[in-house]
Amino acid sequence: MDILRFITAGNVDDGKSTLIGRLLYDTKQIFADQLEAIESSGRVNEDGQVDLSLLTDGLKAEREQGITIDVAYKYFSTEKRKFIIADAPGHIQYTRNMVTGASNSNLSIILVDARKGVQEQTRRHSIISSLLGIPHLVICINKMDLVGYDEQVYNQIVEDYKQFARKLQAKDVTFIPVSALKGDNIVEGSELTMPWYQGPSLLEHLEQVPVSQDFNLDDSRFPVQYVIRPLTAEHQDYRGYAGKVISGTYKAGDKVTVQPSGQMTTVKFVELGGKELEEAFAPMSVVLQLEDEVDISRGDVIVKAADGLEAAQEFEAEICWMHNKALKPGAKLLLRHNSTETRCVVRHIEYKIDINTLDHLEDVDQVQLNDICRVQIKTASPLLLDKYADNRSNGGFILVDETSFATVGAGMVAEIEY
Amino acid sequence: MTKRYLDYLDQLEAEAIHIMREVAGQFEKPALLFSGGKDSITLVRLAEKAFRPGKFPFPLVHIDTGHNFPEAIRYRDELAERLGEKLIVRHVEDTILRKNLSEPKGRYASRNALQTHTLLETIEEFGFDACIGGARRDEEKARAKERIFSVRDEFGQWDPKRQRPELWNTFNGRISKGENVRVFPISNWTELDVWNYIKREEIALPNIYYTHERECLVRDGKLMAWSDFIYQEPDDEVVTRQVRFRTVGDMTCTAAVESIAHDIDGVIAEILESKISERGATRIDDKLSETAMEDRKKGGYF
């Protein structure tokens, strides 16, 4: 059994909450007391059924306004997988919340209303999913019951979407006709209502989509989080480097380089909780012991000698701005990348990305809340970065305000200058 | 080539260890809040995995309401002893006396809410800048939106509208003076995940997690452990039942469930069949209003 993390973005109107409610309900993840709490609220949908969307809207303000504001995490599991749902809002003014939810997801469910077809919101959610490097997209054409389960309608929407998706870097796109309200193709199939559809139901698809290869196992990256030095009689000379293999693999005998100093040594021992491991691979948290006594501290990265990683201070990135106060060129911020923090300056705004069309808007003099822009950044100390497209776990960073310490932006490395 | 496949429990464990090490790396005076319940016992095992053969970079801290199960207290003391780690205990009783707080009265009387006072005092006393806790997002709808690094102001308040976006596995632990961070390494675990992990790791739990005979008070359809601390009305019925606890907290607000599970497999089987959520089955305090948890968290509660 493994884990699939997926995001659903959308508004109440799309039936997103109904879809999640349906997944939880039909996989029997909703407990009687939770259902009772919904029933006692008295909200039912037009069919007189319990309003499943109430399961997902957690905060008082959200229930009052009937919208999702923040990302909510939901969990369910089947025999095959544990699922973690990042339930994100769909409106453009909550783009930052969707970006947040998308950052950790392997799959994105995008809802299309069968009556309306591909809309601005469909495009926006697809573009954000693509920018955040989500490897798998599922396009659920919802409310099929309201178009008479018509195959022609479905096919037309699939065609329209494919047309648009050419400009995305989506590797794996799947289409499923569903009715979240009626439960068609969510957990069960749709033999009665849509015999023309031969593919899997949404849950079947979620259970079988391959995710193990989504981890980058080629480029070894081990950012040191903490140095273990017990200094006890029993462990007099013990030095263990604690961290997470964010990509690649490590085993005893591997020749490694410690960056940014460039010192070379060999992995002596790989362990976790005192037990030796034959090999550590992403995303394991382990301890590495090295053959030589080298000077290593938090923020250094241990890399296999064959997998080069060079330090850089200047790079270009796509950033999503997450704060009310606009970002202007010349702004100084803190930048956190894995276990490293440094100061940085945003030197230039190259262009803004229209997230409804992917068009580039030039001559932008500031970055507003929810904007996604390409910028040039220079850091005070060197960073050990990968391009986000090459290595998702080593190409993302966050921007932090120097005085309030709020997280004000998220960035994805696009081009690095060595 | 060997197939590189990480089981879901290993993935959850790796994530939790990473979070704990970020706490060790980013904060000067962290603490692990330990209650003697299964979730904080799980945190202790994760801390062993994260930091052994070194010592924990934080003490274990218990806020004792004085109404805890004696079995849980004994377990707590033995665990700290066996691990050789520092245990700090602060008592709600002392806060009540010192601050002249009024003890809650009546049918739903519980010191659970007063814990917040003692917790905030303890944070101040030791200058803790990060407190690791065992809350999970599957427990309650307000918790479903809480961050893994949850920043609290100097009153311990949680402001759901001011939460920091949390992306990838990058955690922003930067705070201003007076603020502190609550950290939840098992945010993404469910009740069942915790039990499966306890099983896999062969972790011994306080025996009240397994079936035993106990005198209980029947209240609002729930079984409350009979003790000197519980408020009894003349017509309250006291019964003897085979029960276990699904959540172990303050005796006055955590209820027992009828059970015949005498080992972990039995408990897991019962959870799989259960129709009621963990908090729904066992918590009296959540039922008091629709947003009881959200309101308590805003006031500095865990």
Can you spell out the DSSP letters for B234-284? TT--EEEEEEEESS-S-TTTBEEEE----SHHHHHHHHHH--S-HHHHHBS
- Read off the tokens for A185: 């193709």
For the ranges A141-155, A306-320, B128-142, B236-250, the lowest mean pLDDT is seen at B236-250
B84 touches chain A (CB under 8 A): no
Is A312-417 in CATH node 3.40.50.970? Answer: no
Contact A291, A268 (CB under 8 A): yes
| B199 vs B65, residue with greater confidence | B199
Determine the structural domain holding residue B129 and report its residue range: 8-193+291-298
B296: amino acid identity, one letter? R
Mean pLDDT, range B118-143, rounded to an integer: 90
Q: How far is CA A247 from the centre of its chain?
A: 16
**pLDDT at B190 exceeding the cut of 50:** yes
**pLDDT at B206 exceeding the cut of 50:** yes
- In our burial notation (b when 16+ CB lie closer than 10 A, e otherwise), range A30-52 reads bbebbbebbeeeeeeeeeeebbb
Contact A356, A349 (CB under 8 A): no
Same CATH fold, A312-417 and A222-304?
A: yes
Mean pLDDT, range B82-102, rounded to an integer: 88
Residue B230 lies in a domain: yes
In angstroms, the CA A322 to CA A311 distance is: 27
- For residues B110 and B248, state if they share a domain: no
Q: Place A9 in a pLDDT band, splitting at 50, 70 and 90.
A: confident
Q: Strand pairing partners for A82?
A: A3, A77
For the ranges A273-287, A344-358, B243-257, the lowest mean pLDDT is seen at B243-257
Q: How far is CA A250 from the centre of its chain?
A: 25
Residue B13 lies in a domain: yes
Checking DSSP bridges between strand B222-225 and strand B255-258, what pairing results, if any? antiparallel
Q: Place B157 in a pLDDT band, splitting at 50, 70 and 90.
A: confident
- For residues B45 and B178, state if they share a domain: yes
Residue B3 lies in a domain: no
CA dihedral of residues A159, A163, A167, A172 (deg, nearest 10): 20
Contact B267, B195 (CB under 8 A): yes
- What integer pLDDT is reported at residue A306 of this predicted model? 87
Contact A254, A223 (CB under 8 A): no
Mean pLDDT, range A259-271, rounded to an integer: 95
Residue B261 lies in a domain: yes
- For residues B263 and B158, state if they share a domain: no
Q: Select the residue from A75, A281, A400, A404 to test the B interface by mutation, using most B Cβ atoms within 10 A.
A: A75
- What integer pLDDT is reported at residue B18 of this predicted model? 98
B50 and A242 in contact by Cβ < 8 A?
yes
- For residues B259 and B134, state if they share a domain: no
How many angstroms separate the first and last alpha carbons of chain A?
A: 42
Average pLDDT, chain B: 85
Q: Place B288 in a pLDDT band, splitting at 50, 70 and 90.
A: very low
Query: How many CB atoms sit inside 10 A of residue B59's CB?
Result: 18
Q: Place A32 in a pLDDT band, splitting at 50, 70 and 90.
A: low
In angstroms, the CA A237 to CA A412 distance is: 40
| A231 vs A410, residue with greater confidence | A410
- For residues B17 and B152, state if they share a domain: yes
**pLDDT at A207 exceeding the cut of 60:** yes
**pLDDT at A153 exceeding the cut of 60:** yes
A166 touches chain B (CB under 8 A): no
Q: Place A245 in a pLDDT band, splitting at 50, 70 and 90.
A: very high
- What integer pLDDT is reported at residue A302 of this predicted model? 97
Domain A222-304 belongs to what topology?
A: Elongation Factor Tu (Ef-tu); domain 3 (2.40.30)
A284 and B193 in contact by Cβ < 8 A?
no
Mean pLDDT, range A290-296, rounded to an integer: 94
- For residues B150 and B37, state if they share a domain: yes
Percent of chain A having pLDDT more than 70? 89
- For residues B43 and B104, state if they share a domain: yes
Residue-wise pLDDT for B10-39, tens only, equals: 999 999 999 999 999 999 999 999 988 899
In angstroms, the CA A2 to CA A364 distance is: 44
**pLDDT at B1 exceeding the cut of 50:** no
Instruction: With beta carbons under 8 A apart, name residues in chain A contacting B291.
Output: 60
Contact B135, B187 (CB under 8 A): yes
- What integer pLDDT is reported at residue A358 of this predicted model? 87
Identify whether B53 is preceded by a cis peptide bond (ω within 30 of 0): yes
Mean pLDDT, range A35-56, rounded to an integer: 59
- What integer pLDDT is reported at residue B237 of this predicted model? 79
Checking DSSP bridges between strand A136-142 and strand A172-177, what pairing results, if any? parallel
The CATH code of the domain that includes B133 is 3.40.50.620
Q: Strand pairing partners for A332?
A: A345
- For residues B102 and B189, state if they share a domain: yes
A233 touches chain B (CB under 8 A): no
For the ranges A4-13, A59-68, A135-144, B65-74, the lowest mean pLDDT is seen at A59-68
- For residues B36 and B151, state if they share a domain: yes
Residue B52 lies in a domain: yes
Can you spell out the DSSP letters for A252-315? TT-EEEEETTTEEEEEEEEEETTEE-S-EETT-EEEEEESS-----TT-EEEETTS----EEEE
List C-alpha distances in Å: B59 to A390, B29, B80, B94, B130: 40, 9, 10, 21, 11
Q: Place B297 in a pLDDT band, splitting at 50, 70 and 90.
A: low
A230 touches chain B (CB under 8 A): yes
- For residues B23 and B171, state if they share a domain: yes
Give the number of beta-carbon pairs within 8 Å between A and B: 176
Mean pLDDT, range A98-102, rounded to an integer: 91
A223 touches chain B (CB under 8 A): no
What's the longest Cα–Cα distance across chain B?
71
Mean pLDDT, range A208-236, rounded to an integer: 91
Mean pLDDT, range A52-65, rounded to an integer: 58
Q: Place B129 in a pLDDT band, splitting at 50, 70 and 90.
A: very high
In angstroms, the CA A127 to CA A166 distance is: 11
Contact A200, A157 (CB under 8 A): no
Residue of A nearest to B162 (CA): A406
**Which among A249, A276, A254 is positioned nearest to A265, based on CA atoms?**
A254
Residue-wise pLDDT for A361-384, tens only, equals: 998 999 999 899 999 999 999 999
**pLDDT at B69 exceeding the cut of 90:** no
- For residues B213 and B96, state if they share a domain: no
Predicted ipTM of the assembly:
0.92
A249 touches chain B (CB under 8 A): yes
Residue B174 lies in a domain: yes
Mean pLDDT, range A274-278, rounded to an integer: 93
- For residues B226 and B173, state if they share a domain: no
Instruction: With beta carbons under 8 A apart, name residues in chain B contacting A372.
Output: none
Residue B2 lies in a domain: no
Domain total of chain B:
2
What are the phi and psi torsion angles at B265 (to 5°)? -60, -40
Query: How many CB atoms sit inside 10 A of residue B298's CB?
Result: 17
Domain A2-213 belongs to what topology?
A: Rossmann fold (3.40.50)
Instruction: With beta carbons under 8 A apart, name residues in chain B contacting A273.
Output: 48-49, 52
Mean pLDDT, range B127-141, rounded to an integer: 90
Instruction: With beta carbons under 8 A apart, name residues in chain B contacting A100.
Output: 165-167
Please report, for chain A, the start and end positions of each structural domain, with discontinuous segments joined by +: 2-213, 222-304, 312-417
**pLDDT at A218 exceeding the cut of 70:** yes
- Read off the tokens for B235: 């017509």
Can you spell out the DSSP letters for A27-67? TT-S-HHHHHHHHHHT-B-TTS-B-GGGGT--SHHHHHHTS
**pLDDT at A343 exceeding the cut of 90:** yes
Residue B142 lies in a domain: yes
Instruction: With beta carbons under 8 A apart, name residues in chain A contacting B8.
Output: 1-3, 81-82
- In which residue are the tokens 């969707």 written? A98
- What integer pLDDT is reported at residue B172 of this predicted model? 96
Percent of chain B having pLDDT more than 70? 86
Q: Place B255 in a pLDDT band, splitting at 50, 70 and 90.
A: confident
